Amino acid sequence: MPAARSSRSHRRGLAVIAAVAFGAPLLAFTGSSVPRTRLERSNVVLEAEAEKTSVALVKVTEESTITTAGVLGGVAGLLLGGIWVGAATFAATSYIARKKDDDVALALKGISTGGLEALNYVDYLNNKYEVTSGVGSSLGDAIAKADSQGTVKESLDSIGDAIANFDKEVNVKDTLGGIFTAGGDLASQAVDKVIELNDKFKVTDQIKEKIDEVVAKSSAGTKSS
């Protein structure tokens, strides 16, 4: 009897070793079928949330902040001194905002970044509370009540369709953004060229000398008289 028991124990040991030897490779190829834990499921949800794209009206990038700085400078100059001052301030701010490691450039880009973030926040509030859609529906209801024959509504619908088709073909927002960006680049290059020519031909020094000469002659004439 002891011999039989020993034989059975020996066979059981061999069966366990065989199961481990042949079962491990199968698990390696088939993979574990253990269900995910709550923590793993939470990580999957967080990863899916992180993959969602931003829905900001204007993306705050280096290019957009530089372009906005030039536009803000141009608008400020336009309001303060007219079209020529606006063009000059647009060129100046576009040039300065592109400078690296400059305090004024950092300040301009900080202001433009704040403006873009404020614009995106206003758009977020508008989408959240549906302000413009509410105003539009109220205006539509008022027009519908006042317009008994429906001619005004038809005219407004045709105008809206024309604007929508034009925006669909031209893509107004991207086109205007490209125009302002290209304009800022050209203005910055123009300012660079002016500075280069001034360094080469000393234009401002010559103008200063002429002004000093005229002032000296005027002072001499005043003293002699």
Among the listed ranges 7-11, 115-119, 136-140, 168-172, which one has the minimum average pLDDT value? 7-11
What's the confidence (pLDDT) of residue 20?
Answer: 43
Is pLDDT larger for residue 125 or for residue 2? Answer: 125
Is pLDDT larger for residue 92 or for residue 2? Answer: 92
What's the confidence (pLDDT) of residue 52?
Answer: 42
Is pLDDT larger for residue 164 or for residue 21? Answer: 164
Average pLDDT over residues 70-92: 92
Is pLDDT larger for residue 75 or for residue 140? Answer: 75
Q: Highest mean pLDDT: which of 48-57, 92-101, 136-145, 174-183? A: 92-101
Percent of the chain with pLDDT over 90: 20
Spatial contact of 115 and 73, defined as CB atoms under 8 Å apart: no
Among the listed ranges 64-68, 115-119, 122-126, 153-157, which one has the minimum average pLDDT value? 153-157
Mean pLDDT of all residues in the chain? 73
What's the confidence (pLDDT) of residue 39?
Answer: 45
Instruction: Please tell me the distance from the alpha carbon of residue 81 to that of residue 65, in angstroms, as a whole number.
Output: 24
What's the confidence (pLDDT) of residue 42?
Answer: 47
Residue 64's Cβ-count burial label (10 Å; 0-12, 13-18, 19+) is middle
What's the confidence (pLDDT) of residue 34?
Answer: 45
Is pLDDT larger for residue 174 or for residue 21? Answer: 174
Q: In angstroms, how far is CA 97 from the centroid of its own chain?
A: 16
What's the confidence (pLDDT) of residue 21?
Answer: 43
Q: Copy the structure tokens of residue 108.
A: 């301009």
